[in-house]
Structure 1
Amino acid sequence: MAGKYDYDLFVIGAGSGGVRASRIAAGYGAKVAVAEEYRVGGTCVIRGCVPKKLFVYASHFSEDFEEAAGFGWTVGETSFDWKTLVTNKDKEIDRLNGIYIRNLEKAGVEIIASRAVLKDRHTVHLAGEHRDVTADKILIATGAAPFLPDIPGIEHAITSNEAFHLEELPKRVVVIGGGYIAVEFAGIFNGLGVETVQLYRGSLFMRGFDDDLRDLLAEEMRKKGVDLRMNCDIVEIARKDGELRLKLTDGDLIKTDCVMYATGRNPNTTDLGLEAAGIKLGKAGEIIVDKYSKTSIDNIYAVGDVTDRANLTPVAIREGHAFADTVFGDKPIAVDHSVIPTAIFSQPEMGTVGLTEADARDRYDEVDIYKTAFRPLKATLSGSREMIMMKLVVDPKSDKVLGVHLMGPSSGELIQAVGIAVTLGATKAQFDATIAVHPTAAEELVTLKDKWQAPVVKAAD
């Protein structure tokens, strides 16, 4: 296609969204280049969901060894080597990085290992190569980076980025934050035998998720040994006598070996030349886009976490694909962000899709709730005290299932399948008409018949 410009499409950032957009656009015949200053694959592959899930797997074995005894297995003396886990994780990340590179090259996309900065709406400066290139369309897919607060001693703290490369596994760790990254890493460290404290400044973590799941997760994490402390934060970090000392807002003092912040992520929009190109940003520094991912400049687009719409890898991939279909495939597609199945690899694991009970009650006159909590069949012999929870949120007028919220083993796998039903607008009657698979925990999703009734609280005499 290329005409008066060097490229039909220039992509800044080779994460999940940028890679998908590049490949699909090239498939439509566009001349495409993508610039990446670190490694191809983005946060998810290099220092996010993939290595984190590998760490989650590693942390589960301590419980697996204990539970095996109830099934007749005798497990001998066990030990864990952190450096082996990190080395094997790095090998897998290198393998995935190579696959991403090969897929781009196979699609005919030029990969440029350089930081790229906008000079104007059609010109990109490649800082590493000290040259400019031009493009008809530009896509920004630079993702987001961990946030660190400005407090005394913050230089002693790490984020999830550094947690994947610690030279030694600490004996004690404090994780700060109340989102899914914080609870996942708290579970990882705790499962690997680290004395783990998690701090959150609010009254209950996992804000935005269903309240029943939030309550039960806190209960289950405490049962597993995580020291959860709500309504507190760190005001100062100091290093003394080979350890870190944390002064808290409640006046308490914690001594630890490692402090990890997971208190949110900021869009990577600093020093990208966005202002020079006239691109409008939001209050958090995110790029403002329309439903087709177009910015305030009609030839510049943005997808993924840098837009701060729904910061999940599959969403970035979907946005990148939709962008290429729209701009280069003449098939306008607007991504629907209203129903997004989500897995949280906490311990226990959670899966959720659709509206929470609180959100449904805000939007609908009436809401029916179906829920259950129980110990799984495996626990009858393993001795595990971990609970499973399943919850359906239903609109009684249309009988449509508005939300499904799960906690327990393989909830992430389950919610992918359930997400199809919710996306298609399945009704409670259709759930009920589905034959159960027995014996499974998931059969509860199609056998829940009794609506949950809130306890009646009588006024005191």
Structure 2
Amino acid sequence: MDITVIGGGPAGRTASIEAASIGENVTLIEGSAIGGTCLNEGCMVVCGLNDVSKFLNDAKNFENLGIIKNNYEFSFKEVTKGVKKTVGKISHVLETETKDAGVKIINGVGKLKEDYVVLNNENLKYDKLIIATGARPFIPEIEGAENGITYKDILNLTEIPEELIIIGSGVIAAEYANIFSNMGSIVHVLCRNQFLSILDKNIKKYVTKNLLPDVNIHENLQTNKIYKDHVSTDKGEINGKVLFATGMTPNSEIAVDMVDINEKGHIIVDDGMQTSHESIYAAGDVAGKIGNTPISRAEGVIAARNACGIHSKMEYTYIPQAINLYYDVSFVSSNNKDEGVEGYIPGSAGPGSFWRVLEGMTGLTKININENRDINELYSISPSSRTSMAYISKLLKEGQNIDDFDDFIEVHPSTDAIYKLMRFFARFE
């Protein structure tokens, strides 16, 4: 069977490898570089910049403690150069890995027809098609919006903006506010509503106070006009270069005449990632379920299996998520939240947080459990929470509740306070 996948990001690449491993003839079409937005412009770029941001934060702390004297010069141009080089190497590895799995990769932008894709003046026939074309930055309709930049432009900057205005209130806004404030910019975050509304109020308070202490956060504010070096709002003017972090727009135009699309532009799929067309599937950001890389990969696998005739269903319970700041801010929650009992404790001293004990900044862990002792919500802020939360998510998916953690044995030393809080609740009725 001939399976064509459009898009070489996390969803498309994973779908291609999965279909090839099943034994089908797979062609992957990618218009740019393998790895998609996550690798080339998004998650991995944030990781590279945040590593430097953390170093600068640590260096400042060690200087305040009298441990070191800072005489270094910081070059943002060299940072972006290094990020590009590293991303390029990873992309090459992913491309080689994909080809070794038996996938044929073709570069180009195709046009979709009933049972074939028009690409480079050729008609590529398919039996099943998987659309994984991702998404692009959403630009709000604000006068002067052309004066702003998005995450796609970050690596083209040659120096740190003296003043930066981030329009947006979610994860991307928080991550770039953290990076640029640590690198020396005066940062303002302009939120139309509330900043980081996805977080519990206590967790948000910790984040804004301890992890984004130098960031100026403006909530319930309307941006009226954007200029090259400032913006006007309903509460006055603010100076700075504008970075949009206002969400994503799905790249679904290729399929607009072939499948059903919702009002936000996402391709509508069922729990098997099948569209309204029996031979077409969609996965990742273009399908608009939960916008993160692991979900995109999982959806790619489900789409590939169903396209190959192997019945599989995508499940979205207890999805672990994280915000990439000085400490990881990680969380997981049940889809069906009930009223429950809350508890929280400070983070532990250990690798990555030892030298923050003196200022009382070791993180925070908070839990909410219902009357059946199931976990409604779990938040953890620590250097290790991103990894811990993924395994906690797996246990929760398998039906574990608070009582199952009474005999949990941790690895020591660790900054993970999750197990401490769980064991505490497990010992009390």
Q: TM-score, normalised by structure 2?
A: 0.92
- 1:379–1:32 CA distance, 2 compared to 1 (3 A): closer
Deviations 1:76-128 (A, max 9, x none): 412211111111111111111111211222122221111112122x12122xx
| Equivalent residue number for residue 209 of structure 2 | 219
Structure 1 counterpart of 2:247, from 254, 264, 276: 264
Alpha-carbon distance, 1:69 to partner = 4.9
Partners of 1:141 and 1:225 in 2: CA distance: 38
Asked if the contact 1:394–1:403 (Cα under 8 Å) also holds between the matched residues in 2, the reply is: yes
| Structure 1 residue 134, shift from structure 2 partner | 1.3
Mapped contact 2:322–2:331 kept (Cα < 8 A): yes
Stretch deviating more after TM superposition (304-313 or 343-352): 343-352
Shift of 1:402: 2.9
Residue-pair matches, total: 423
Partner of 2:224: 235
What is the Cα deviation at residue 62 of structure 1?
1.9
Contact kept? 1:432, 1:447, Cα under 8 Å? no
C-alpha distance after superposition, 1:399-424 (max 9, x if no partner): 22232111233321221232222222
After TM superposition, give the deviation of residue 351 of structure 1 in Å.
0.4
Percent identical pairs in the alignment equals: 27
Equivalent residue for 2:155, pick from 161, 164, 172: 164
Q: C-alpha displacement at 1:348, in angstroms?
A: 4.1
- Which residue of structure 2 aligns with residue 39 of structure 1? 33
Deviation at 1:286, TM superposition (A): 0.3
**Residue aligning to 1:194:** 185
Q: Of 78, 103, 107, which aligns to 1:109?
A: 103
Which residue of 2 is the match for residue 253 of structure 1?
237
- Supply the AA of the counterpart residue of 1:231: N
Counterpart residue number, 1:291: 271
> Residue 70 of structure 1: CA displacement?
7.3
- What SS class does the counterpart of residue 365 from structure 2 fall into? strand
Task: Compute the TM-score of the two structures, normalised by the length of structure 1.
Answer: 0.86
Residue matched to 1:142: 133
Structure 1 residue 9: Cα displacement: 0.7
Quote the residue 2:24 is aligned against: 30
Aligned mates of 1:380, 1:307 — CA distance in 2: 43
Match of 1:280 in 2: 260
- Out of 94, 111, 118, which is 1:125 matched to? 118
Map of 1:391 onto structure 2: 366
CA deviations over 1:162-199 (Å, ceiling 9, x no partner) = 11221222111111111101000000001111111111
Task: Give the letter aligned to residue 177 of structure 1.
Answer: G
Aligned match of 1:354: 333
Q: Which residue identity does 2:123 align to in structure 1?
A: D
- Counterpart position of 1:345: 324
Report if the CA contact (8 A) 1:70-1:382 is conserved: no
Aligned partner of residue 141 in structure 2, secondary structure: coil
SS in 1 for 2:404: helix
Deviates further, 285-294 or 65-74: 65-74
Return the index of the structure with the highest Cα Rg.
Answer: 1
Alpha-carbon offset, residue 238 of structure 1:
2.0
Q: Partner of 1:4 in structure 2?
A: none
Residue pair 2:17, 2:98 contacting (<8 A) in 1 also: yes
Matches of 1:72 and 1:195 in 2, distance apart? Answer: 26
Residue 409 (str. 1) matches residue 409 (str. 2):
no
How many angstroms apart in 2 are the aligned matches of 1:408 and 1:112? 42
What's the offset of the Cα at 1:438? 5.5
Deviates more, 1:56-65 or 1:387-396: 387-396
Deviation of the 1:276 alpha carbon: 2.7
Following superposition, the deviation at residue 72 of structure 1 comes to 6.6
- Cα deviation, 1:41-98, whole Å, max 9, x if unaligned, reads 1011111101111111111112211333577732341221111111111111111111
1:445 and 1:151 map into 2 onto residues whose CA distance is 47
- Structure 1: stretches of 5+ with no match in the other structure: 2-7, 452-461
Two-structure CA RMSD over aligned residues (Å): 2.2
- For 1:92, the equivalent position in structure 2 comes to 86
Asked if the contact 2:281–2:307 (Cα under 8 Å) also holds between the matched residues in 1, the reply is: no
Deviant stretches of 4+, over 6 Å: none
Q: 1:75 to 1:331 in 2, by over 3 A?
A: farther
**Paired residue type of 1:151:** I
Partner Cα distance (1:45, 1:439) in 2: 32
Is the Cα contact below 8 Å between 1:353 and 1:422 reproduced in 2?
A: no
Mapped to 2, the partners of 1:87 and 1:396 lie a distance apart of 53
Say whether residues 1:310 and 2:300 are aligned partners: no
Q: CA deviation at 1:13?
A: 0.9
Assess if the C-alpha contact under 8 Å between 2:75 and 2:159 holds in 1: no
Change (3 A) 1:236 1:290: same
User: Which secondary structure state, in structure 1, belongs to the residue aligned with residue 126 of structure 2?
Assistant: strand
**Contact preservation (8 Å) 1:237, 1:247:** yes
2:365–2:417 CA contact under 8 A, matched in 1: no
Partners of 2:356 and 2:149 in 1: how far apart? Answer: 40
1:12 aligns with 2:6: yes
Task: Quote how far apart the aligned CAs of 1:21 are.
Answer: 0.8
Question: Could you tell me how far apart the structure 2 residues matched to 1:349 and 1:407 are?
Answer: 6
CA deviation string 1:208-257 (max 9, x = no partner): 332322232222245x2111111113210123xxxx1210122x11121x
Displacement after TM superposition at 1:437 (Å)? 5.2
Secondary structure of residue in 2 paired with 1:33: strand
Structure 1: distance between partners of 2:13 and 2:347:
43
Contact 1:375 1:385 in 2 (8 A): no
- Matched letter for residue 187 of structure 1: N
The SS at the match of 1:433 is: coil
Contact 1:67 1:383 in 2 (8 A): no
Partner Cα separation in structure 2 for residue 16 and residue 208 of structure 1? 24
Partner residue of 1:455?
Answer: none
